[in-house]
Copies of this chain bind each other. A is one copy, B any other.
Amino acid sequence: MSTAVQQNLVSKNEQYASKFTEGNLQSPPAKKYAVVTCMDARIDPAAAYGISLGDAHVIRNAGGNARDALRSLVISEQLLGTTEILLIKHTGCGMLTFKNEDAHAVVEKNLGAEAKRDLAGLDFQPFPHLEQAVEDDVNYLKAHKAIPDSVKISGWIYEVESGKVRSVV
């Protein structure tokens, strides 16, 4: 039996597909850039960051984390020709609200010792300071040998309260 979430996907997608006219776009991003941002439900990257269909890779994870995005970024640049990265974290991010040990404790409480053990090596990558986290992630990417110096990298913050983006680094 399909869920309400699945039914929403199917019915909204039918409407989308019925008006779809962009089936000839190519795989390599037309504007040759990649965006790394948070999975947060309050962010619509295409609308908020002005990304037209086909223009950019969009990588999203908890926190807009650069380490988590490394595999995708190397593929984006080395195999699909992108040459610029926008790293965009945001105000009100859940990653500001807990520490690694808190997350592991919640897993153990909800799911038991076995689940906690299976995640023993996992760094959930929370961060205590937003601006600093943007700088740290940009520096991590700039220093990484697999991201060449020719790749332009900038760091930004999106404000979920105002819809505004501001430059950090």
Contacts and interface: CB of A to CB of B under 8 A. Distances in A.
A69 B38 CA distance: 12
A22 B80 CA distance: 35
Interface residues of A, number: 89
A78 B107 contact: yes
Contacts of A28: 41
Contact of A39 (B44, B49, B57, B92): B57
Contact of A61 (B9, B59, B123, B164): B59
A139 B5 CA distance: 20
Interface string A26-49: 011111011000011110101111
Contacts of A46: 44, 46-47
Contacts of A61: 59-61, 68-69, 71-72
A145 interface: yes
B78 A48 contact: no
Contact of A20 (B6, B106, B162): B162
12 contacts: A9-B49, A16-B48, A25-B41, A27-B42, A28-B41, A39-B76, A59-B60, A70-B122, A75-B94, A78-B111, A79-B106, A111-B148
Interface of A: 3, 5-6, 8-17, 20, 22-23, 25, 27-31, 33-34, 39-42, 44, 46-50, 53-62, 68-72, 74-76, 78-80, 84, 86, 92, 94-95, 98, 103, 106-107, 110-112, 114-115, 118-119, 122-125, 144-146, 148, 152, 154, 156, 160-165, 167
